[in-house]
Amino acid sequence: MCRRWYGCQRSIRKIPKLKAISEFKIIDKYLSNIGTSFNKKNKVLKGVGDDASVISLSNNLIVSTDTSLEDVHFPKGIKPEYAAYRACATALSDLAAMGSHPIAFQLSLSTRENDHKFFSSFKKGLNDFSNDYKVGLTGGDLVRGQYQISVTIIGEQHSNILLRNNCSVGDIVFLSGQLGNGLLGMQNFKKFKRKNNVSSAYLKPKALIDYGKTIAEFASSAIDVSDGFLQDLGHLSKASKVGFELSSSSIPFNSNLSLKQCLNCGDDYQLIFTVPKKNIQSLTKKMKKKKFKMFEIGTSIQTKKIILDGKITSINRGYKHF
């Protein structure tokens, strides 16, 4: 068993001891007391410091895990601050797609870095994420090895749980916002190597938690755009056994990129969601009150294909791990 921050210390002693800063100091100084002020409100009875965390819940537990690997999910040379924030926010986006409320997160870190500068920057990213979404770090794992960050988000049911398999023929398809900002942000960062108004969409993506909780009462299904709009919409199609008819003129996308790029790139973390016609008026009223935008882009259909502007469209151009 690997050494967890909240417990067992046996196996990590087999790893060569870090020179500049020990694993114990890393945990105590940089991976503890992150977001503990939110624990009481989120019903976290015990966080970092024991064999496991303790959470008291009356609603259904919603759990999601996501792994970010250097040179795959974030580029080499990125500040640890942004790698940490990005890994946490992209994991949290899955809870937004479920219409759920986050209450805690856990993080497993593998790295060969062992200096104060790295971990100080990494902690800043964790603190920024914790403060932005009002959740505390309740435990995790620390090993020496290839640079990767695995984040588990723990949440609870807010109203309805949004699933991928609940869309019916005739439901209207909506998109929460513009596609392509993540790709443009990545291109901008690779060019200028710093955070600015453009690259921030990639370095510090937003998980649409409040948006997801707002639509949960009215929507029939949802998914976040992580691997590409068409590919992720294809997951909804497969799970619900329906197809979708879309109009490209209704799809919002970044004008600095082509529509084709924006339909197939990932890292946008917008929400695709479907709504029964009977719920649209009530949803529209609530969204206006919240000042949330939503874009009607199509309709679910019987044929299990995605049809864009009258033509069947491939869904196999998004990101694939294997």
Total domains present in the chain:
2
User: With 70 as the cut, is the pLDDT of residue 322 above it?
Assistant: no
* Same-domain check for residues 176 and 308: yes
* Lowest model confidence (mean pLDDT) among 8-17, 169-178, 214-223, 303-312: 8-17
Name the more confident of 197 and 49.
Answer: 197
How does DSSP assign 42-87, residue by residue?
A: TTEEE-TTSSS-EE--SS-EEEEEEEEEBTTTB-TT--HHHHHHHH
CB distance 49 to 140 below 8 Å = no
What CATH code is carried by the domain that includes residue 240?
Answer: 3.90.650.10
Q: If pLDDT is split at 50, 70 and 90, which confidence band does 20 have?
A: low
pLDDT in tens, 231-246: 999 999 999 999 999 9
Closest by alpha carbon to 104, among 29, 53, 50, 161?
53
* Same-domain check for residues 71 and 185: no
Beta partners for residue 63, in sequence order: 154
User: With 80 as the cut, is the pLDDT of residue 19 above it?
Assistant: no
Closest by alpha carbon to 276, among 178, 190, 194, 160?
160
pLDDT in tens, 58-72: 889 999 999 999 998
pLDDT, position 319: 56
- Enclosing domain of residue 229: 172-312
Q: If pLDDT is split at 50, 70 and 90, which confidence band does 130 have?
A: very high
pLDDT, position 320: 58
For helices 116-133 and 80-97, the axis angle rounded to 10 degrees is: 30
CB distance 151 to 91 below 8 Å = yes
* Same-domain check for residues 297 and 261: yes
What CATH code is carried by the domain that includes residue 48?
Answer: 3.30.1330.10
pLDDT in tens, 271-310: 999 999 999 999 999 999 999 999 999 999 999 999 999 9
Compute the residue count for the chain. Answer: 322
Cα angle for residues 87, 105, 1 (degrees, 5° grid): 95
Residue 44 covered by a domain:
yes
